[in-house]
Chain A
Amino acid sequence: MSAFKQHMPVARYSLRMCLAFLSWVPVVYVVTEHVAYIGKIEGMSMKPTFNPPESPNTRNHVLLWKWGVTNINNLEVDDVVFLRSPIDPEKIYTKRIKAKQGDLVVPRYPDTRSRVLVPVNHIWVEGDNVHSIDSNTYGPVSTGLVIGKATYLIWPLNRFGPIPLGGRECREARLRHSYKE
């Protein structure tokens, strides 16, 4: 009994600390949901910028900035963004912004004569790899689908640093035409 009494404050203290810790979990969750989180890049559509073939078994991780990314003014051409798929809302794509509202884009399909005008508050996204399902398939996407912007490559550590540039150079001439053309 005396031993219990002796340990009582310790038990109470640790219980209190536990509860205090748990009560901060929702706060952390809200921050990861709206401010910043770590994003994992899956699949091959961003090769070789992310998940390069030299290390086939490591998945690249990036710091994902989430605050204010649905505002078109915070998104620039060549930014890498995570967006909810317009085809399947449960899937998340990683793509590079290739054109913004008001730009005239020559899509890869159905043919090279067609032109797409990116509507207001929409972006044109493409993968860095030729094997990518992107705006060439589903068209310009609303910025409301963007869930985050990759700001730093944080894993693996030997590639730590800002997001590398990338994209297919043969596409550059076909993007961001002025509407006046």
Chain B
Amino acid sequence: MNNLYSAGKVLSYTIRTVAVLHIFSSNVFEISDTTGESMLPTLAVVNDSAVVDKRYKYGRNVKMGDLIVARKPTEPSSLVTKRVTGMPGDIILIDPSKNSLRRLHQENLDMQEIAPLDSSSYDNYVIVPKGHVWVTGDNLNASLDSRTYSVVPLAMIEGKLVYAWYLTGMLSMFTNSPRKLANTFVEE
């Protein structure tokens, strides 16, 4: 009986502590691992731990060039790290590598026709609608981003990456220091 009582006590303390930590990590700061090659060279493929500032949740005060963590519109259960490369109202050329300017000129497309985004056509323009951002990876060759799933609603932004720390083991804590993730678009 006594054992059961103390077990219950441990459980109740655990629940309360986890709740407090959860509120902190979802509203203030969170440390999370990043994986994938889409943000090279800013973030390493593996072992890069990042500090996410959750006060930028729902895109609050997010600026052009910020590194953000967002839910993927076509798969909301997964989080992606990208850089904001288009703000509401901006006109975006989906993929400049496709020689699109020439094609646009040839076919005489007007804005009305190219506004709805067809994910299969990269050589098109998109106007970022209100409340959305255009996000791309720093490594454009290996990044699945707005060029495929189009604009991301601000409401799906989870936070902004502020620091990254390349950690491969306990010892690397002393050899590597945390680095501040700079905004490559706006001078700070």
Q: Of residues A29, A86, A90, A145, which shows the largest number of chain B Cβ atoms within 10 Å of its Cβ?
A: A86
Total of A-B residue pairs, C-beta within 8 Å: 71
User: In the complex, A27→B13 CA distance in Å?
Assistant: 11
Q: Decide: A70 and B132 in contact? CB cutoff 8 A.
A: no
Query: Which residues B9-60 have CB closer than 8 A to chain A?
Result: 15-16, 19-20, 22-23, 58-60
Tell whether B65 is near chain A: CB-to-CB under 8 Å: no
Taking residues whose C-beta sits less than 8 angstroms from the other chain, chain A's interface range is 20 to 34
User: In the complex, A145→B76 CA distance in Å?
Assistant: 9
Q: Decide: A89 and B16 in contact? CB cutoff 8 A.
A: no
Given contacts A24-B16, A29-B19, A121-B75, contact A138 B58 (CB under 8 A): no
Q: Of residues B15, B58, B74, which shows the largest number of chain A Cβ atoms within 10 Å of its Cβ?
A: B74
Taking residues whose C-beta sits less than 8 angstroms from the other chain, chain B's interface range is 20 to 34
The B interface, classified by DSSP as helix, strand, loop or mixed, is mixed
Given contacts A84-B58, A89-B131, contact A26 B76 (CB under 8 A): no
Q: Decide: B59 and A121 in contact? CB cutoff 8 A.
A: no
User: In the complex, A121→B76 CA distance in Å?
Assistant: 8
- 3 A-B pairs with the lowest CB-CB distances in the bound complex, closest first: A144-B76, A89-B155, A84-B155
Residue ranges of B at the interface with A (Cβ–Cβ < 8 Å): 15-16, 19-20, 22-23, 58-60, 71-77, 129-132, 153-157
Residue ranges of A at the interface with B (Cβ–Cβ < 8 Å): 23-24, 26-27, 29-30, 70-71, 84-90, 119-122, 138, 141-145
